[in-house]
Amino acid sequence: MRGISTSSIADALDAWWRPALFMIVVVAIWWAVTAAGWIKPYLIPSPLAVLGEFVTDGPLLAKSSAITLYETVIGFVLATIVGLAFAVAIVYSRSVERTLYPLLLVAQVVPKIAIAPLFVVWLGFGIVPKILVAVLIAFFPVVISSVAGLRAVDPELLDLAATMGASPVDSFAKIRFPAALPQIFAGLKVAVTLAVVGAVVGEFVGANSGLGYVVLSSNGNLNTPLLFAGLIAMSLIGIVLFVVLEVAERIALPWRAQRGAEELLVTS
């Protein structure tokens, strides 16, 4: 157990030290370029100026981040529920697949930035249009990954369960759905980052709050330090939600983490 725990820590460090080092190098280059005066401050501010915005406009960024986070989470949850329901219907019904799959493809290729203004016209400037845009953007990867996962189950295993008296509900709950979870989680991790994009796009179109509004107003006022601070806050929201899903996946699928640790021990 101690060996597995140690290897898990080593695996985590091995996964994160390269991105961390890369970000340090990027920030160092960013600081050097701005300190040398090669780029005008109104085009790219210095890292210290952006950090100063987190101090001076901290309450504004915190409130805006909370609004965008709320829109993102609600949109992601709704996209997950509806996406999983569509995926199950597509897998279990050929008629539903032939009816809905082409419509899903058409809906995916339509630019969401073109649909967002319609939501504002129909539903006003409240929080609902932003959530709907987040749902639309996050919905497709949930459906695609879930359908792929649900169909990847060995048919012979399902036939064996049926011959032993298992009902379709039992086969789904105990065989098909658990086996599809790795691919479902892969789609969810993509969807949660896209949900952030959807919420921000909705705020771009019509809002008086949220990180999208902060970025848009900062751009109009040429306040690039606040604009960069808003962009960083958006990125942090996406990263945090992605990590939350990573942890949820490890909890729901402990055997995957166990297997990864064992493989690391074998190769080391």
The mean per-residue pLDDT over the stretch 162-166 comes to 78
The string of pLDDT tens digits covering residues 123-156 is 878 888 899 999 999 999 999 999 999 988 877 7
- Per-residue pLDDT of 185-228, as tens digits, reads 999 999 999 999 999 998 888 778 889 999 988 988 888 999 99
For each of the domains in the chain, give its residue range(s) and CATH number, in order of start: 45-267 (1.10.3720.10)
| pLDDT band at residue 165 under the 50/70/90 scheme | confident
Residues 6+ apart with CB under 8 A from 201: 112, 113, 116, 133, 137, 212
Res. 2: pLDDT tops 70 = no
C-alpha dihedral over 22, 24, 28, 29, to 10 degrees?
A: 20
Q: What is the pLDDT of residues 49-107, one digit of tens each?
A: 999 999 998 899 999 999 999 999 999 999 999 999 999 999 988 888 888 888 888 87
Q: Where are the alpha helices (DSSP H) in the chain?
A: 2-35, 47-56, 58-92, 94-109, 112-123, 128-151, 155-163, 168-171, 177-205, 211-220, 224-252, 254-267
Residue 206's pLDDT is what? 77
| pLDDT value of residue 13 | 63
Q: What is the pLDDT of residue 1?
A: 42
Q: What SS3 state is found at 198?
A: helix
* d(C-alpha 268, C-alpha 7), whole Å: 9
